[in-house]
Amino acid sequence: MKTPENSMTISYWQKSEETITRDALESFQLEKLGETLRHVYANVPFYRSRCDEAGIDPSRIKSLDTIKRLPFTTSDDLRLNYPYGLLAVPKDEVVRVHTSSGTTGKPKALFFSKGDIERSANLIARCLVMTGTGKSDTLQNMMTYGLFTGALVMHYGAERVGALVIPAGPGNTDRQISLMRDFGTTAVHITPSYALYLASVLQKKGIDPGKDLNLRRAYMGAEPYSEETRKKIENLFGIDVYNSYGLTEMNGPGVAFECPYKNGMHLWEDHFLVEIINPETGEVLDEAREGELVITSLRREAMPLIRYRTRDITKILSDTCACGRTHRRISRIMGRSDDMFVVKGVNIFPQQIEQILMGIKGVAQNYQIVLESLDQLTIKVEISKDLFDGNIDHLLKLQAAITAKVRAEILVKPTIELLEPGTLPVSEGKAKRVIDIRTM
């Protein structure tokens, strides 16, 4: 097992909860599952009829497996019940709403009670403390403030541990850099694509993050990204990068986090009950297998969700972690079952391609996958400027190397286009990596 690069002492925010024995954790989950089912049975007609149809009496929940008899809750269920259909408390008890916009149709509305805000802040605080962020830190929050949960939930958690929070929001890169310098920012909350862009701007301005900035760590989430991209960002800035996982439907960020061992994200099982399913058939899989993560909230008050399909592809890691936390981990998100695309009948996630590209010397930060037909895939890749040295052999060699490596991974031969840095559109938010121009 890897040891943390910085020899930090292990610290906890809620030690007894974070290191609870597995037996005690499972009894606690059963108790909270019963409470949650009784709560939705009494207050949400949608779940009451589902329990009745499945023959489940919420006052007699004897096993965690009982929920396997209930159907999944999907994002369509949230849209169909927009805005108040799944609310489980009187409107007076709600203190905040976040929405999650879909690509089509109605948004999803997610409600928080005072208690929900409190608990989500504590979950973020667990993450920050376990990775070394505390009172003496300055956290620059570069996620979008607003209806999206990413920034606000992190903000509350960082304040909770006593850090100074800069609510910068995303974009406006020159101002971000000034803020980082003026306030000695030690931690950032950022998307991986924006971190890569920020690194390229710093480079252009001749700013050396190791010498000219005070940055020590970054929390990254909101987009799936590869281990190679993490290493690239760690090297570019000379910092530790920690994966963070969350979704608006489950409070936003704070569902699962990496500890200093960076060996998967501890998923807070005293708040969330997890299952792994086959995204195509809905069959519950052995948890060690890769599949779609399904989450039941155990502590949400305003809007609990039962067996919610996250669409995120991952697997559960059950081996013990040297940090002492007993909550199992999930592997980095492989992709969204929605992002998966098919070429020549092969299921492909953009992250598989990213992982290869970021591991090849000479490949720069930005790339784009273009789908032209059902059997044709083009990858546009920016490469370092010094490779355009007038010697076409160097380019052909790199092109052949990328083609071979991608083909070996996804079993489809791609067309590779090499581009000078700065050719592809840059992203100050979530990157659009796959362009689908197929007409079907």
The residues binding Zn ion (CB under 5 A) are: 259, 261, 321, 323, 325
Give the torsion through C-alpha atoms of 176, 179, 180, 186, to 10 deg: -110
Q: Nearest approach, Cβ of 79 to Zn ion (angstroms)? A: 36
CB of 266 to Zn ion, least distance (A): 6
Q: Which helix (H) or strand (E) holds 419?
A: strand 415-419
Give the 3-state secondary structure of residue 225. coil
Distance of alpha carbon 315 from alpha carbon 242, whole angstroms: 18
The angle subtended at Cα 142 by Cα 214 and Cα 115, nearest 5°, is 110
Give 108 or 327: the residue with its C-beta nearer to Zn ion: 327
How many Å apart are CA 148 and CA 171, to the nearest integer?
Answer: 16
User: Which residues does 247 contact at the CB level (< 8 Å), separation at least 6?
Assistant: 255, 310, 312
* Residue 321 beta carbon to Zn ion: minimum distance, rounded to whole angstroms: 3
Q: Which is nearer to Zn ion, 87 or 323 (CB)?
A: 323
What tokens does 302 get? 């305003």
Closest distance to Zn ion from the beta carbon of 123 (Å): 15
> Residue with structure tokens 């090849």?
360
CA distance 243 to 12: 18
- Beta carbon of residue 323, minimum distance to Zn ion (angstroms, whole number): 3
- Shortest distance, CB of residue 11 to Zn ion, whole angstroms? 12
Nearer residue to Zn ion within complex by CB, 325 or 336: 325
Runs of H (alpha helix) within 184-284: 192-204, 209-212, 227-237
Residue 396 structure tokens: 């052909």
> Is the Cβ of residue 165 or residue 323 nearer to Zn ion in the bound state?
323
Kindly tell me which of 307 and 329 has the beta carbon lying closer to Zn ion: 329
CB of 259 to Zn ion, least distance (A): 3
CB of residue 325 vs Zn ion: minimum separation in angstroms? Answer: 5
Q: What is the DSSP string of 109-120?
A: EEEEEHHHHHHH
The DSSP secondary structure of 358-409, one letter per residue, reads HTSTTEEEEEEEEEEETTEEEEEEEE-GGG-SS-HHHHHHHHHHHHHHHHHH
User: What is the Cα–Cα distance from 292 to 337, expressed in whole angstroms?
Assistant: 7
Beta carbon nearer to Zn ion, 19 or 214 = 19
